[in-house]
Amino acid sequence: MPQVFRDSVEILDTTLRDGAQGKGISFSAQDKIAVVRALDELGVSWIEGGNPGAHPKDREFFREARALRLQTARICAFGATRRKDASAAADPHVQNLLRAETEAVVIFGKSWDLHTTEVLRVTPEENIAMIAETTAYLVEHGRRVFFDAEHFFDGWTRNADYALLTLKTALTAGAERIVLCDTNGGAFPDTVAQGTRAALDVIAGRDGVLVGIHAHNDAGFAAANAALAVKAGCRHVQGTLAGFGERCGNTPLAVAIPGIELKLGLPCLPPGRLERLFKITWQVAEIANIAVPENMPYVGAAAFTHKAGMHADGILKRRESFEHIDPALVGNGRHFLVSEAGGRSAIAERARKIYPAITRDHPLAYRLAEKLKALEASGWQFEGAHASFELMVRRELRALHEETGGVSSGGERAAFFRIEAYRVTTEHPTSEVLACSHGWVKVWVDGQEEIAAAEGDGPVNALDGALRRALQRFYPELERVRLSDYKVRVINGGAATAARVRVLVESTDGAAFWNTVGVSEDIIDASRAALVDAIEYKLIAVREDRDGHAALKGESHEK
């Protein structure tokens, strides 16, 4: 294998081009500008902006991108080699690449002879001429050329001489990056490693020229293929930050970058940027209107989440026992799920925010573990309802102190209000007028009674409105609180209409978000339980802020 002299890896993000080919993805020109700013903040070297000849949106983007003042990233345009029946100078798509006025241009050409003869319908010799002439023409006009060898690994396994000839051709014509593409996404890592070493033999000793990898994820190997290619000598990696793209997506750079930096010791980003990975991956996904998979390595919400009791206990004793890296290195955080499977160590860790003196052997830990087992047996689940769990800790702590005569810690104060009665009705007119729900509630606050009613789009919305209206006289800060999400799950479906349901409510005050849960055979009563917890959680946070204590933010998050 030839010696590799570069001790870092160059990253090209193609979210705006290959990523935009993913199902359900559509970027406006302004979306693209927002993604560019985010990727520049992360510190990638290159951003593939799209094909300037494809549609007006991309042309608008390239016009606006010229005015950007980026810190680390440079934008490149993307297109094909010239058409078989035109010179590079006469091909309008090649001319569009020049009009984009980017420093570099990525062109793709066929490196699998099957595609040459069966898809392009040209001779292998004509395909070589298309690669050579297009590359040389763009270089002559002041562009740095990156050559994407499309279907390289399929071509190399079937006709290695021809596949390698396409690389030599682009290299001789002036290409600075020779990018090996697993376009079908089906190559195994050992094939990628071997093919990469063969490509490196072709360009050995060429100063300033890097071999790159562009992998798709159709067989689930994209991140592994990128890592193996880097180990074999690639120093240029292409992919999309969150992994979305054509079919099954591209190499997820949010997975590949930390793997290369932390496991292979090769920097991909400027110093101090890796810890921004979690935030920026979620930011780019939000712009694309997709969700980051919870189990996505490094940046998923569950990437460093622990449920099993043995795991939680091990993590608290020694981090590396069940975590392959410190989550803070990529800007993520550790989370412990509270459940009957979680064990007292995880319960104590989660409860320590409310009662710092708790340990896994504290009476409160035993009490909470038994409470969780009982509640989960009847359908409750607190994994996604951290606010309800923290309220349960306070209630159990208060009960423990009352039973033992212990000194109050201040974290277990009584509830802010009590619902004495409530009622919800829904009218279903016979006309085309939409149904309307009405909620009515009577509450007691510090010995004072308050009755309120409200209309809503549904019974839960009406109950929520009536409850907050009744309480706002006492707690005006509730005016900013609203439901942001509502989910229902049937627990024991075999019971048909008598089944128990679990309601999960997400609430927000415009800044933080928190989750609560309720369970009952009555969906309205389950909703009532979740709504009450949501309001109490907010009121405790306000009170502790006012009293100078740490606010009850828990795992609440900004979106």
Q: What are phi and psi of 526, to 5 degrees?
A: -65, -40
What local confidence, expressed as pLDDT, does residue 2 receive? 39
Task: Report how far residue 269's alpha carbon sits from residue 281's, in angstroms, rounded to the nearest whole number.
Answer: 14
DSSP for residue 260: I
Q: How many CA atoms lie within 13 A of 85 on its CB side?
A: 2
Q: How many CA atoms lie within 13 A of 161 on its CB side?
A: 1
What local confidence, expressed as pLDDT, does residue 427 receive? 80
The token pair at 176 is 């600075």
What local confidence, expressed as pLDDT, does residue 483 receive? 85
Q: Where are any strands of DSSP class E within 388-512?
A: 418-427, 436-445, 448-456, 482-490, 501-508
For 405, the enclosing helix (H) or strand (E) is none
Q: Which residues pair with 510 in a beta bridge?
A: none
Q: Determine how many CB atoms are found less than 10 A away from the CB of residue 309.
A: 19
SS3 532: helix
Q: Determine how many CB atoms are found less than 10 A away from the CB of residue 95.
A: 16
In one-letter notation, the amino acid at residue 102 is: T
Q: Which residues pair with 426 in a beta bridge?
A: 437
Among the listed residues 250, 274, 333, the one whose alpha carbon sits nearest the alpha carbon of residue 14: 250
Task: Sort strands 513-520 and 501-508 into parallel, antiparallel or unpaired.
Answer: antiparallel
If you search the block for the tokens 């697993």, which residue do you land on?
A: 182
Helix %, strand %, coil % of the chain (to 5)? 45, 20, 40
If you search the block for the tokens 């038994």, which residue do you land on?
A: 370
Q: How many CA atoms lie within 13 A of 50 on its CB side?
A: 26
The token pair at 511 is 């800044």
Our measurement of the distance from residue 127's CA atom to the centroid of its chain's CA atoms, rounded to an integer in Å, reads 40
DSSP for residue 408: P
Q: Determine how many CB atoms are found less than 10 A away from the CB of residue 208.
A: 8
In one-letter notation, the amino acid at residue 248 is: C
Task: Report how far residue 226's alpha carbon sits from residue 474's, in angstroms, rounded to the nearest whole number.
Answer: 59
What local confidence, expressed as pLDDT, does residue 202 receive? 87
Task: Report how far residue 421's alpha carbon sits from residue 442's, in angstroms, rounded to the nearest whole number.
Answer: 5
What local confidence, expressed as pLDDT, does residue 366 receive? 87
End-to-end CA distance of the chain: 47
DSSP 26-62: ---HHHHHHHHHHHHHHT-SEEEEE-TTT-HHHHHHH
Q: What are phi and psi of 159, to 5 degrees?
A: -150, 80
Counting beta carbons within 10 angstroms of the beta carbon of residue 256, is it exposed (0 to 12), middle (13 to 18) or buried (19 or more)?
Answer: buried
What local confidence, expressed as pLDDT, does residue 476 receive? 93
Task: Tell me the chain's radius of gyration from C-alpha atoms.
Answer: 30
The structural domains of the chain, ordered by start, are 10-288 (3.20.20.70), 305-404 (no CATH)
User: Each residue's pLDDT tens digit in the chain (559 positions)?
Assistant: 334 457 999 999 999 999 999 999 999 999 999 999 999 999 999 999 999 977 788 889 999 999 999 999 999 999 999 999 899 999 999 999 999 999 999 999 999 999 999 999 999 999 999 999 999 999 999 999 999 999 999 999 999 999 999 999 999 999 999 999 999 999 999 999 999 999 999 887 778 899 999 999 999 999 999 999 999 999 999 999 999 999 999 999 999 999 999 999 999 999 999 999 999 999 999 899 888 998 999 999 889 887 766 776 677 677 788 899 999 999 998 877 666 555 787 788 778 888 888 888 899 988 888 888 888 778 888 877 888 888 988 988 888 888 887 655 544 455 799 999 999 998 876 666 566 889 999 999 989 999 999 998 888 889 999 999 999 999 999 988 888 888 898 876 555 556 789 999 999 888 888 999 999 999 999 999 999 999 999 999 888 877 665 444 434 444 4
Among the listed residues 212, 145, 139, 217, the one whose alpha carbon sits nearest the alpha carbon of residue 181: 212
Q: What is the pTM of this model?
A: 0.73
Task: Report how far residue 126's alpha carbon sits from residue 161's, in angstroms, rounded to the nearest whole number.
Answer: 16
DSSP 21-36: GSTT----HHHHHHHH
